[in-house]
Amino acid sequence: MLTRTTVDIPSPLFRELKARAAEQGETLRVLLTRAIEAELGHRGATGAKPPARVKLPLIRHKGGPKLRITNETIAQSEEDEDLYRYKRSLR
> What is the DSSP annotation of 55-86?
PSPSS---SS------HHHHHHHHHHHHHHHH
Position 50 scores a pLDDT of 60
Residue closest to 35 by CA, chosen among 19, 17, 11, 10: 17
Give the whole-number percent of the chain exceeding pLDDT 90: 49
Q: Is the pTM of this model over 0.75?
A: no
**What share of the chain in percent tops pLDDT 70?**
82
Cα dist from 13 to 5, 38, 39, whole Å: 18, 18, 17
Residues in the chain: 91
Mean of the per-residue pLDDT values for the chain? 84
Which range in 22-31, 45-54, 63-72 is most confidently predicted, on average pLDDT? 22-31
Q: Which amino acid is at 69?
A: I
Q: What is the pLDDT of residue 37?
A: 87
Distance CA 34, CA 48 (A): 10
